[in-house]
Amino acid sequence: MTRPTVHVVGAGIAGLSAAVALAGTGEAHVVVHEGAAFAGGRRRPLFDEATQAAFEGGADFILSSWTSALALIEAVGAGSQWRPAAPEGVVFADLATGERWRLQIGRKRRPWSWLDPRRRPPGVALSDLWPATRLARAPIAAGLSAYTPRFGTAAERLWRPLALVALNVELERASARLAGAALGAAAWGGAALLTPTRGLARGLIEPALKTLARRGAATRFERRLTGVEVDDGRIAALDFVHDRVDLAPGDAVVLATPPHETAALAPNVAAPQEFASALHIHFAALARRDAPPLLGVLNGTIHWLLRGEDSLTAVVRDAGRLIDRPRDQLAADAWRDVAALTGQSDAMPAWRVIRRKRAAFAGTPEQDGLRPGCATAWPNLFLAGAYVQTGLPDCLEGSARSGAMAAERVRAWIASR
């Protein structure tokens, strides 16, 4: 009997996760169709016209408790590429007051360490942390600010940064449930922050492509899906820009495209419709060796400052108001913060601004409520993507998990036939 073919559309982290899981079983032939010329989706390396070189558009962090992301990294043999990102803890700086503090996230972090006032942001009392114990059980429609204060020290130093970094929205709009999911492992479980030593391309994307090739899967680039054809209650054909693929009755499709594309390609599939933007502003500046690798910033234009080998990257989350400003103005505003934080001179070094209007789905209760499951109304069509309902915000773990979930569903469907 000929093996069925599973068409995975989209080679972002979710598509790669589904394809790697399916290609590993030998139960189906796997073909990955990617609309762009590169894999990696939102995290693919960018290309600089001026220097004619590829570069990574920002650092990536995962938690050591994120089992699906780590399982994918291990499955493609890239475990050795990852190292602890901030073993000494994540430093925060308040530009308004000049205060600095360190939040320890890591293996030594245990729930009872919050009892020690030195381990909490200054001015944050133990009672301010109480809401965190209730978030994981919050209903899907609940907002984070129904559980936390909206003003005051705990709001500004704890809950607002959490909402921005994990859910890409302001505290007032954040989902309680998603905040609980993001906070859980880091705050209570002692999970460490990990980062790829030489970027996500080498830490996951390239090893995944090699693994797929080794397992006999085909990966095709610049193949943009423009529509699906339904016949007899199943997906019967895929229309690409230049050609069409007919599906045999046992063939399946994993649509691992972003939510707005998926909603257009597969009518009747509900998906998040609101996205948060992000700005990454890279400066060709060397940080002092003792500068923290990851600096959270309060009361500035920027929200994070990342120290690279030969650059500093300023990150603005939920950048809605700023994203359309002229690039040189964005760079100048960000550099003002960077100079104040690092003690560098006001003379701005070479810079590059990367705007992402759809960096992530907005982590609000409304958008969380729109997330679909893996299965669809068509028995041979499955969904994967960070936006699929995984209980997690938009993150690498959610993408990897949704891909693994879709692969499981496909296998069960194939086995049931």
Ligand X SMILES: Cc1cc2nc3c(=O)[nH]c(=O)nc-3n(C[C@H](O)[C@H](O)[C@H](O)COP(=O)(O)OP(=O)(O)OC[C@H]3O[C@@H](n4cnc5c(N)ncnc54)[C@H](O)[C@@H]3O)c2cc1C
| Binding positions for ligand X, rule: CB under 6 A | 9-15, 33-36, 41-43, 57-58, 60-62, 224-225, 256-258, 261, 278, 280, 356, 359-360, 385-386, 394-396, 398-399
Q: How far is the CB of 187 from ligand X (least distance, A)?
A: 16
- Residue 311 makes CB contacts below 8 A (sequence gap 6+) with 282, 283, 284, 285
Distance CA 168, CA 229 (A): 35
Q: How far is the CB of 272 from ligand X (least distance, A)?
A: 11
**Nearer Cβ to ligand X (154/388):** 388
**Nearer Cβ to ligand X (15/292):** 15
* Contact by Cβ (8 Å): 223, 31: no
Distance CA 248, CA 182 (A): 41
* Residue tagged 């859910």 (tokens): 167
Q: How far is the CB of 131 from ligand X (least distance, A)?
A: 23
**Nearer Cβ to ligand X (36/339):** 36
**Nearer Cβ to ligand X (148/399):** 399
Q: How far is the CB of 149 from ligand X (least distance, A)?
A: 27
**Nearer Cβ to ligand X (31/62):** 62
**Nearer Cβ to ligand X (155/205):** 205
Q: How far is the CB of 2 from ligand X (least distance, A)?
A: 25
Report the candidate in 101, 98, 86, 89 with the shortest Cα–Cα distance to residue 340.
Answer: 98
**Nearer Cβ to ligand X (124/392):** 392
Torsion sign (Cα): 162, 167, 172, 178 = negative
Q: How far is the CB of 313 from ligand X (least distance, A)?
A: 10
Q: How far is the CB of 111 from ligand X (least distance, A)?
A: 23
Q: How far is the CB of 72 from ligand X (least distance, A)?
A: 11
**Nearer Cβ to ligand X (142/278):** 278
